[in-house]
Structure 1
Amino acid sequence: MPSKPAPIKKSPAKKAAEKAPAPAPEPEPAPVEAPPAEAPPAEAAAPAEEAPAAAPPAAEGDGAPVAPAQDAPAAPPADETPVQEGLDSTAPAEADAPAADAPAADAPAADAPAAEDGAAAPAADTADAPADAAPAEPAVVEEPPKAPTPPPPAVPTSAPLDVSVEDVNDSSLTIKWKTPETIGDSGLDGFTIEYCKDGTTDWVVAQEELTPVNRYCIKNLTAGDLLNVRVVAVNPGGRSEPATLAAPVPIREVVDRPKIKMPRNLRVRVVRQVGEQINLVIPFLGKPKPVVSWLKDGQPLDTKRVNIRNSDKDSIMFIRTSQRDDSGVYEMSVKVESFEDKAPITIQIVELPGPPTGVKLVDSWGFNAALEWTPPKDNGNTEITGYTVQKADRKTGEWFTVLDHYHRLTATVSDLIMGNSYSFRVFAENKVGTSERCAVTKAVATIQKTGINYKPPEYPEHDFSEAPKFTTSLSDRAATVGYTTKLLCSVRGSPKPKIEWLKNQMVIGDDPKFRKLSNQGICSLEIRKPCSFDGGIYTCRAKNAQGEATVSCKLEVKQIIISEKGK
């Protein structure tokens, strides 16, 4: 006779679990009333192979024997949900939930009976565990490896730039262009060229394969056609926006292509002063008559300031009175159909510079003064070539240039006069000339006067006194009766000696027959028409405080004897 199953006792842990609030991750199903059962049902919603893991047998310490499998009573019907004795009838029925989806602590012991042997296994995972035992950790689910991030899709390039005509004749058309500004990481595969007749939209691809260069010749064209041409850049992202020629191109031979013959003197910078007249004549070639246009700094000309006169062979740009605003880069363009030639002309209008923005006296010492200044704000539209530095004495106020064509911004003025005060000013220079205004120092450089005691040297006075001395003596002479004769000698002495003449040791007085002269030490005695009695010894005597000197000579007066025959 089969034995009765033993009643299931509740362990302290199970009682504590029943008192704990039930988790509420999901809405609770309606409570189901179950008939009392002495043993747990043999069938449960959980799979049979997972039941032992979800509900291990109770521990022996609980005092509840486990019935053998062969003595297990028959299982109740499947549609009836058994309720373990002692449990609240309102607990949620979790029989339909898989054991792996919920922790063992959240499921009651009655929800996981042993299905195969029908034994009464009332205990759950936490039924016989101590009250302070920790709940089991949830199973770790490994995430599948993520797929690699796909690269961003390729983006088409920007449109090609500056599509223009390079050559055209009656059967072909050559165009050129520039590479697009934006190419992207995917690179550039090449360019495709398309054309269509003017007035239609039937675009024809000119080449079979993409061209990598920025030039292409479209051949086998029909003379007289008017074609629109466009260029498209291609890369892995697709086609770019097309770049189209500005105007349709007629397919025909050009007689004479446009060409600007720029004069040599206009190939470099054209420099004029403010107020001067500008008259530039630029010849050109081209047939039929080219279309001439002018630009200044990329913008149309101001016709109020600049006059343009064009003929079949040249273009004249005329400015009556130039101003600073007329400076810039002028571009002349001649165009024959789709062919064009351009030439730039740089015009620079210059004038006198402004003054330096400031000059100051840095220091003064001895006979020197140090200055510094800053460049002018207005350079006259040309570079500053130098500076002129001037000084002025405060006593006279007259300005004198001390440095000319000076290139630095600092200078030292030297050779100043002691005891004077000086002001300084600076002018700026450029290729036109010196600035009209200047910068003047506010401070004054005063050269201090130091006292000097000058004692002139003392020289002993020289005694120039000298006794008379004849430097040239008298010479004996012979005179002829009736012919005037003169005696000469020279004497020196200090003070000036007194001269006396003697004849035969007798002083010659104021006899009118004798004339006595003395000039610069030259003494002379003139004897007018001497006679035979005037012969004798003549003496010249010189006397002063230092002494006297004499010199003598013999004068012989001869008589002319006339023979009887001569009479």
Structure 2
Amino acid sequence: MPSKPAPIKKAAKKEPAKKEEKAPEPAPEVAPAPAEGEAAPAEAAPAEGEAPAAPPAEEPKAPTPPPADAAPTDEAAAPVAADQPATDAALPATEETPAAPAEAPVDAAAPATEETSAATKAPADAAAPVAEETPAAAAEAPADAEAAEAPAPEEPKPPTPPPPPPKEPTSVPLDLFVEDKNDTSVTIIWSQPETVGPSGLDGYTIEVCKDGTEDWKAVNEDLQKSCRYVIKNQTTGDRLKIRVVAVNAGGRSPPVTLPEAVLVKEVADRPKVRLPRFLRQRYVAQVGAKINLTIPFTGKPKPVVTWTKNGQPLDTKRVNIRSTDRDSILFIRASERDDSGVYEMCVKVDDFEDKASLILQIVELPGPPASVKIVDTWGFNVALEWTPPTDNGNTEITGYTIQKADKKTGDWFTVLEHYHRLNATISDLIMGNTYKFRVFSENKCGISNDATVAKEEAKITKTGIEYKPPEYKEHDFTEPPKFTTSLNDRATTVGYSTKLLCSVRGCPKPKVTWMKNQMIIGDDPKFRQICVQGICSLEIRKPGNFDGGVYSCKAKNDHGEATVSCKLEVKQPAVADADKK
């Protein structure tokens, strides 16, 4: 029995080496709990070769060591202390070993415990309860078990990369429907899957099969990247089932299939005639003109176009019809009046149809009026009446042209044109002459080629006429004098002649009198008075210092008088300072 403490001291020497190896591993906080509660039994336990000391050293290796497991360990340690009380020599070593776990990680005691357990394999009964309660007791098992469990604590050392995620296919594509179709192709569109996954999406495979079979075949050799595809080169009338599969590294997704089979046939679009604006009213053309009318339309598939005239089929000898996918052309090489009528165009697609009508009117010059007659003749006037023509040229009459001719010369002259009434009065005829009259019809095309001549002739007879010259009343031109231009104030210099001017009118001619300071000037030779055609002037020759003042001009006749005035200022000439000295 005294020989057992020696391995404990040897294990204590190896503790630093184990501390360096196990330093990176964190020590569980729950390991000191059993040491505090079981300090007294641990001192009395070294009787069986430190079997009780092994569980505290191995507890950090357990994933989750429960504190409650220490109770059975104490119970196992108690019998050992009772059976072998004489273990005082091992007590100092036991006191040193618990001190190490308090300062260093608990895992440092694990190698020492393993060596001690190897040296003391005999007391297997004491180690058995510890192995049942804690996983650390497995160190006392056979050597094969130790070798198998020894690498387990060292596995977390190298960083282990997470395992690659499993490659899974995408979810099913969404919203598959037919965008368009015609006689040989079907266009489909869809939306990408809701879940694509980490491996991404490589593309789509489009598969078709005839209705009633399950022979699915891919129509695209390479994966389709976009969410739209045109399935071409199909047979008209076939019913196809269509589905789309998304493909990625994980494989094929579940397919999305159209709910119903698609009939390969052009989608019916309601037909519509686009009648041009100028054809919505009556289309008028002259006889002999070329008619070429293009009427566009829409519809899908190609509509069937039919034409009628006045509800009857067209005469293909007269009218040519050429239709394309987008329009229809009505062509007449040389139109005639019989080509006039209501033309109706009908486009039909399946059970849908649309119609449009156009009115074609072929016109020509009208015929002459049916009759013209002279109703009355008086003085220099003749009254005429006529009736509309029997042939209006297939359009309304817009007016008439009336002409007259003197029987002596026979030359026709136009009296009225564009005249709208059916009667007229011709005036300003020459007395003693005999006149003939004729009338032309007029429509949109022009004036009729022929005219209708009145059977009667109109003779303007001479009658006794007494000439009375008109009485003229002489205009009264008399008026009182009136100055049209008044006098203006003037300023002059001594020794320099000046002139005053004004103008006056009146009937009879007024008498003009000049005055200075209300005094009549008279025949003073210093002043010169002239009045010609209402222009009155007063010339003052070399005025002196006393010739300044107020000058007036008075005009007077039998009907009144008028006066105008002005002020004349006579200044002294400027004298230089040298002249004054």
On whether the aligned pair clears a TM of 0.5, the verdict is no
Indicate the structure with greater helix content: 2
State the TM-score, normalized to the length of structure 1: 0.37
TM-score, normalised on structure 2?
A: 0.37
